[in-house]
Amino acid sequence: MLNSHLHRLGLHPTGNCEQCQVPETGAHFLFACATYHSERIKLKRTTESFNIDLTLLSVLSDDQAAKHVEELLRTSGRQI
């Protein structure tokens, strides 16, 4: 789970990303975290090739982009 969610459950002291020291939200994890830069490049290429907006709602609701989100989650071992 992401740290922001763990924080709401009382299981993480700050809810911040360990790498970036900002709230670790789904949007941060997918679009901004330095740790997952190379995985994000693949996601960005997919969204561009299918003219999909690079927003949380768009990438989670489009089948092509969602496949890359799933891959990013598998490689990171995280859950949104």
Alpha-helical segments (H) within 1-80: 3-8, 26-31, 37-49, 56-61, 63-76
Is pTM beyond 0.85 here?
no
Count of alpha carbons within 13 angstroms of residue 34, beta-carbon side: 6
The confidence score (pLDDT) of residue 6 equals: 94
The confidence score (pLDDT) of residue 80 equals: 65
Give CA–CA dist 20/42, Å, rounded.
Answer: 21
The confidence score (pLDDT) of residue 77 equals: 82
Backbone torsions φ then ψ of 37, nearest 5 degrees:
-60, -50
pLDDT tens sequence for the chain (80 residues): 899 999 999 999 999 999 999 999 999 999 999 998 888 888 888 889 989 988 989 988 988 888 888 888 888 887 76
Q: Which residues pair with 23 in a beta bridge?
A: 16
